[in-house]
Amino acid sequence: MPTPTPKEFPLRHIAIEGPIGVGKTSLVGLLAKRFSGTQILEDVTNPFLADFYAGKKGAAFQTQMYFLLSRYQQQREIAQIDLFRNLVVADYTFAKDKIFAYLTLNDAEIALYDKIYATLAANVPRPDLVVHLTASVETCLSRIKKRGRAFEKGISAEYLKSLVEAYNYFFYHYRDGPLLVVETNEIDFVERKGDLDDLIAQITRPFRGTQIYVPRGSRK
């Protein structure tokens, strides 16, 4: 299947999702470059993140609220973009904020969080397509180590396992629009152009509901 040219790209707003280390930001950059799109990258400079990974008391709520408000601001910026003229590719969905909230906050914090989230979510645009990248805990840990972000050194295999499971559960029940689930353990769309081309062919293929893409395996 031929790869679409920028003018032929059928979608205007795509969100790439998945757990830490799965390759979201790399794919966003590749798609934006290939199709002359605008990339929206999640703010990872959260000042509370290091304390959260270190297990500091109260840091989970501080971290979550910072991310919630930062993500909301970015999503409002997306709403101002002319989607008829510009392809937007984001490395997260606003809805994913709940994945982390329910994984890390206590009941009292969740009650407050839910009230704030509901107010903000009503004003957030929905993407035309969500691409959920999946990978094993071992694969994610390897990719995290490779990119070498200092604040991610405290991420444990146990925490990442719970995060992978939470993502899988969340997107198993996702019904807000088309969803493409991509198994990434055996592909490298950064280093192998063939893997990227095959993935783009899946992303640009019209469908409804949820589709699962399991690539044929590694290419040399």
Which residues are known to be catalytic? 91
Closest CA to 99 of 163, 159, 151: 163
Q: How far apart, in Å, are the Cα atoms of 17 and each of 27, 129, 208?
A: 10, 11, 18
Q: Are 102 and 112 in contact (CB under 8 A)?
A: no
* Separation of alpha carbons 97 and 75, rounded Å: 12
Quick check: helix, strand or coil at residue 74? Answer: helix
Query: Residue for token digits 């407050």?
Result: 112
Q: How far apart, in Å, are the Cα atoms of 141 and each of 65, 75, 148, 188?
A: 26, 28, 11, 15
CA atoms within 13 A on the CB side of 192: 14
SS3 sequence of 126-152: CCCEEEEEECCHHHHHHHHHHHCCHHH
CA dihedral 89, 173, 139, 42 (to 10 degrees): 30
